[in-house]
Structure 1
Amino acid sequence: MHNIKFFIMDTNEKKFSSKDFHETYARPTFIKPSKLIHRNVENEGVHNQFSAERKHPVFFIDLPSKNVSMTIGGLLPDQTTNRHRHTYETVLYVIEGTGWTEIEDEKVEWKAGDAVYIPSWAWHRHGNLSSTESAKYLACENAPQLQNLGVALREEEGRDL
């Protein structure tokens, strides 16, 4: 993902109001980020605090996106996560295994190759259907965008309620 830099308007230039939305003239420039690749994500180990809180292994992907985050979530055999909700959207892409995601009052089952959408502020949790095999998924979220705007909230059942 590219970082885009917008030039700040000089205070001597015109001030815009809501009626002037069509007069904005951004001049973006590419700024190369300090990091373009995070190699061997899972070899760095799980993010211990987050993994313990969520009750399943989580691997953070450390790249400089200001809008989208990506993590690798793992579910051990028979494992179920805590119910939680957050103001950011989540899309899960299942890499391996079989399981389910409960979103509010609906439970959807998934397997490798499936994608699951979790709307913002929906109570949800995940579970592994297998007693012998782990499950693994990528979770993509717009959390950094909402964090940068100061509107990201997260509630964990049993901790916050």
Structure 2
Amino acid sequence: MSKVEKTTAGVQKTVHAEQKQFSSKDFHQTFSRPVYIKPSHVIHKNVEKAGVHDQFSTERKHPVFFVDLPSKNVSMTIGGLLPGQLTNRHRHTYETVLYVVEGKGWTEVENERVEWEAGDAVYIPSWAWHRHQNLSDSEPAKYIACENAPQLQNLGVALREEEGRDL
């Protein structure tokens, strides 16, 4: 139950009584009650200076820098493709949006190739086979990848598959 009270300044505020514990039979009685929970930190300084994520970078065969923030729904990484590099084909249940910071290359999504360059954004749908290639033989390419992987991991439905390895 909630009740409305006036503060000494005359402003109305809602005061909530102790919250009821619900069970499955009460699903129709539940209402969203957003609560601010202070995160452990809200900034990750100098992401690339913290170093590449060794295990993931080795597996992907190109440098990847994880952004260490306490988001439960989205992740961000900084990825790089070495000159001429072609990644393995892979797929995952989470969506990805790449923002190309530097370089030129292409991304193949389900056998459809799209070329990109600095300033472009590329969408990779969930569970689509895809891979990326840097078109330059002398300059690296760099992108920022935003994904909803943490959300799906928290729900227990995040999957990732590398062609030839996980099949």
1:154 maps onto 2:160 in alignment: yes
Higher deviation after alignment, 26-35 or 52-61: 26-35
Given the alignment, which residue of 102, 108, 111 partners 2:114?
Answer: 108
Q: Aligned partners of 1:91, 1:102: CA distance in 2, in Å?
A: 14
1:73 maps onto 2:79 in alignment: yes
1:130 maps onto 2:136 in alignment: yes
CA drift of 1:26 comes to 2.1
Q: How does 1:1-161 map to 2 (within 5 A)?
A: 9-11=20-22, 15-17=25-27, 20=28, 23-161=29-167
Higher deviation after alignment, 140-149 or 24-33: 24-33
State how many pairs are aligned.
150
Q: Aligned partners of 1:96, 1:14: CA distance in 2, in Å?
A: 51
CA drift of 1:63 comes to 0.3
Matched position secondary structure for 1:31: coil
TM-score by length of 2: 0.85
What is the percentage of aligned positions where both structures have the same residue?
76
CA drift of 1:24 comes to 3.4
Q: Aligned partners of 1:97, 1:14: CA distance in 2, in Å?
A: 52
Structure 2 vs 1, CA of residues 160 and 29 (structure 1 numbering), >3 Å: closer, same or farther?
same
Matched position secondary structure for 1:88: coil
Structure 2 gaps, min length 5: 1-17
Q: Aligned partners of 2:161, 2:111: CA distance in 1, in Å?
A: 17
CA drift of 1:126 comes to 0.5
Amino acid at match of 2:151: Q
Question: Per-residue CA shift, 1:98-118, capped at 9, x if unaligned?
Answer: 010000110000000000000
Greater Cα radius of gyration, structure 1 or 2: 2
Q: Aligned partners of 1:14, 1:87: CA distance in 2, in Å?
A: 28
Q: Aligned partners of 1:67, 1:127: CA distance in 2, in Å?
A: 28
Q: Aligned partners of 1:44, 1:10: CA distance in 2, in Å?
A: 43
Structure 1 gaps, min length 5: 1-6
Structural RMSD (CA): 1.8
Match of 2:9 in 1: none
TM-score by length of 1: 0.88
Runs of 4+ in 1 over 4 A off after TM superposition: none
